[in-house]
Structure 1
Amino acid sequence: MRIILVLLFGVLLIGCSKKSDPKPPVAATLVFPNKDSECTTGRDLSETTSEIEFKWMASDHTESYELRVTNLNTGITQTMNTNAISAKLPIAKGEPFSWLVRSKNTKVSDVATSSTWHFYNAGYLTTHAPFPAQLVNPQNGASLFKDINNEVTLEWSAADVDNDIIGFELYFSTENPPLDLIAFTTSTKRSQVVGVSSNTTYYWRVITKDAEGNSSNSGVFTFKAL
């Protein structure tokens, strides 16, 4: 009798137990092309195009990956889906690109996105424009409280293959796009305190300048001061 009760109890436990929910995918770690570098290993396809192999590390709970490569000059994005941890794409020579990988799993709706890396595809250029500055804080579309001095701090990051950035033009206003040049900072200063008013939406962008006269535009970010 005792054995029968134990068996019945075990069956009940199994019947009542639930399968664990599938776990969402984890973001992949990018490997190559290297961040803020010039990629010189492409296979020549023509005078204007080479084939680059993009590589990343496998991520947990992932069935497939989506590679996204964007030409920073044209804004055109190429995508490729794969089950592997590398993929080859033909891209233009002598152009700056950004790339990222999205990890997917058909059992869940969540998609994990890797960090975004920039690189130049080697070509005929002997000098390179800086990569567009990445606006770090405030995040695009954010709402944030001003400090006791009615100010917020704008922060950005920047990189250049030639390592010859000389400074940044900061445009900031309540108009979109912002046309008011409020500061030109040195290459080492990548933040600026600005005065703001409550319940007001602001727009800002950063133009990066280098010693060869090249420049790049970060694009416009917006935030609301509370």
Structure 2
Amino acid sequence: MKKFLYLWVFVMAVGCSNDDGPPPPPEGATLLFPLESSECTTGVSINEDLSQVTFEWMPAKNVDLFTLTVINLNTNTPQAITSASTSVALSIEKGAPFSWSVTSSNNRSDISATSDNWLFYNAGSQTTYAPFPAQVITPKPGSTVLMNSTNEVVLKWLGGDVEDNIVQYEVFFSEQNPPTESLTLTNEIEERTVSVISETTYYWKIITTDNEGNTSDSGVFDFKVL
């Protein structure tokens, strides 16, 4: 009986020592091309409106599949395609601003990892480009937030421009949709503190202007204050 017990303990110990634990999560991809805040001129023309651009990123560990997501920032229309490769060719609109990112996943884990989000213009016939529509950092669209001790919330965003010549952000903020109150800032400031009231929903957007008078509209975002 003791021999059997010792054998059982030995088998269990060996079994436990071979337990590898949960599968390793996938790593996030490092983006390569199109470059951040750039004009992409390498696309292959398909017709008057479209060109085919090849998106590229670095290999990442523990990844079975990559999902490329490309968003037309003029229309907020996304395209997504999944591939085991580290490059994907996609047909996109000429002369339009885009954001792109890559999500890594594997078949052994429920966890995924997302790369940085890069902006670029797909080359068109124009010789000058409007700024990229400002990207919201906080509050996240549709979120519920706490105001600080002085009944304020900080609005933060990220601007960008191929030619690096932004001169002004104009923030519209109010309880109405679309927002009506205008708050003008210089190009060096990408945040604004606003007074708020609890249990209220607010709407805001950002108009970005460059030194040639080109503008872009971020679209309207909303958040609720507890």
- TM-score under structure 1 length normalisation: 0.88
User: Number of residue pairs matched?
Assistant: 225
Q: 1:129 Cα shift?
A: 0.9
Q: 1:9 Cα shift?
A: 3.6
Q: 1:35 Cα shift?
A: 0.7
> Higher mean Cα deviation, 97-106 or 44-53?
44-53
Structure 2 Cα separation of the partners of residues 153 and 12 of structure 1: 57
> Higher mean Cα deviation, 193-202 or 43-52?
43-52
- Equivalent AA in structure 2 for residue 64 of structure 1: L
Q: 1:4 Cα shift?
A: 8.6
Q: 1:133 Cα shift?
A: 0.5
Give secondary structure in 2 for the equivalent of 1:132.
Answer: strand
Structure 1 match to 2:195 = 195
Give secondary structure in 2 for the equivalent of 1:134.
Answer: strand
Structure 1 match to 2:210 = 210
Write out aligned runs for 1:43-192 (5 A): 43-181=44-182, 183-192=183-192
Structure 1 Cα separation of the partners of residues 170 and 130 of structure 2: 15
Q: Cα 1:53–1:3, aligned 2, differ >3 Å: closer, same or farther?
A: farther
Structure 1 Cα separation of the partners of residues 189 and 77 of structure 2: 31
Q: 1:167 Cα shift?
A: 0.6
Please provide the CA RMSD for this pair: 2.3
- TM-score under structure 2 length normalisation: 0.88
Structure 1 Cα separation of the partners of residues 196 and 78 of structure 2: 35
Structure 1 Cα separation of the partners of residues 177 and 30 of structure 2: 35
Structure 2, unpaired ranges of 5+: none
Structure 2 Cα separation of the partners of residues 220 and 56 of structure 1: 31
Task: Tell me the alpha carbon deviations over residues 45-101 of structure 1, each in whole angstroms, 9 at most, x when there is no partner.
Answer: 334332211111222221001111122223332222111111111222211111111
- Equivalent AA in structure 1 for residue 149 of structure 2: I
- Equivalent AA in structure 1 for residue 169 of structure 2: F
> Higher mean Cα deviation, 125-134 or 172-181?
172-181
- Equivalent AA in structure 1 for residue 95 of structure 2: G
Task: Tell me the alpha carbon deviations over residues 165-197 of structure 1, each in whole angstroms, 9 at most, x when there is no partner.
Answer: 12111111122332332x111111222121111
- Equivalent AA in structure 2 for residue 147 of structure 1: N
Give secondary structure in 2 for the equivalent of 1:222.
Answer: strand
Structure 2 Cα separation of the partners of residues 126 and 82 of structure 1: 34
Give secondary structure in 1 for the equivalent of 2:132.
Answer: coil
Give secondary structure in 2 for the equivalent of 1:135.
Answer: strand
Structure 2 Cα separation of the partners of residues 75 and 201 of structure 1: 23
Task: Tell me the alpha carbon deviations over residues 14-34 of structure 1, each in whole angstroms, 9 at most, x when there is no partner.
Answer: 345644222332221211101
> Higher mean Cα deviation, 92-101 or 135-144?
135-144
